[in-house]
Amino acid sequence: MKTKISVSEALKKIELGEQISGYSIDFERIKIESLDVMKLSKAGVSVPEKAIYYDDESIVYDEEFEGDWVEIDGDPLMKMEGETEIKIQLNSEVRKWIESKNIQLDELVENLIDSFYNTQKVITKEK
């Protein structure tokens, strides 16, 4: 059975670089601000929606955002500027071959797209 700790204790442990995976966090009768929710999420803690406090007055309207929010994997703050995330499905034979050759898919796709782009530029100039 995991030891139950408060949200503030969990945040202190995260700040000190300690692991909190061995603890159960008590989300009863508490509202957590969005920045603290992000810290907890980054540490692998799923915060119940009912425990999240949103201050609509402090949310800045973003003209560029339209549509629904979509949950993403990873830390978007760690992504490179100009990075695009794609998902591809590979059949098991291809996946095994890629793994056996230790092929880095991100590098392969980058190189393929660069080559395709450069080829398209050459073809367009020749017309």
The domain total for the chain is 2
Domain carrying residue 113: 92-126
Q: Which residue has tokens 């929010």? A: 69
pLDDT at site 93 = 94
Residue 32, SS3 per DSSP: strand
14 close to 43: Cβ distance less than 8 angstroms: yes
Q: Does any domain span residue 107?
A: yes
Same domain, 3 and 48: yes
Tokens at 111, concatenated: 């190189």
Element (H, E) at 25: strand 23-25
* C-alpha dist (Å) from residue 50 to 10, 27, 32, 54: 18, 9, 9, 10
Residue 19 confidence class, pLDDT cut points 50, 70, 90: confident
Rounded mean pLDDT of 66-77? Answer: 67
Q: Does any domain span residue 83?
A: no
The tens digit of pLDDT for each residue in 73-122 reads 666 555 555 677 788 899 999 989 988 988 888 888 888 998 999 899 88
Same domain, 4 and 51: yes
